[in-house]
């Protein structure tokens, strides 16, 4: 069994599309992408669908996570996000990982992390 898609309710579909394409390698699928909805996929075939909602409210611990191969990649993505105008905190080391969380433009949180060599 394989997880093949995730649907997110977001407040700003175009801004989310731009973020996922620019910083996380997603590309548009053959399905519609507009201000109301978008369908993106990653290189592994995972489908991310997003639909616009007025009031987005996820539980406090909810987030979308992106595992990187190295801590250097975590720092590189953070630098690109900062250049793009995102408010991104310094990565923190905890539980054997280097990680940071930031608020995505659609009303949810994104985590970028890597395991730290011991």
Residue 9: is its pLDDT beyond 70? Answer: yes
Query: 66 - beta bridge partners?
Result: 112
Domains of the chain (ranges, CATH numbers): 1-53 (3.10.180.10), 62-118 (3.10.180.10)
Distance in angstroms (rounded) separating the CA atoms of residues 91 and 12 = 26
> Stretch 37-62: mean pLDDT, rounded?
95
* pLDDT at res. 2: 87
Residue 118: is its pLDDT beyond 70? Answer: no
């Amino acid at each position: 069994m394989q997880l093949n898609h995730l649907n997110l309710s977001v407040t700003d579909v175009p801004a989310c599309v731009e973020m996922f394409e620019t910083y996380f390698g997603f590309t548009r699928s053959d399905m519609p992408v507009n201000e109301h909805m978008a369908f993106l996929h990653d290189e592994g075939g995972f489908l991310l669908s997003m639909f616009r909602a007025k009031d987005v409210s996820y539980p406090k611990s909810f987030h979308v996570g992106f595992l990187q191969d190295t801590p250097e990649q975590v720092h590189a993505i953070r630098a690109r996000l900062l250049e793009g105008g995102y408010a991104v905190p310094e990565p923190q080391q905890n539980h054997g990982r280097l990680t940071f969380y930031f608020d995505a433009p659609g009303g949810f949180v994104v985590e970028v992390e890597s395991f730290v060599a011991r």
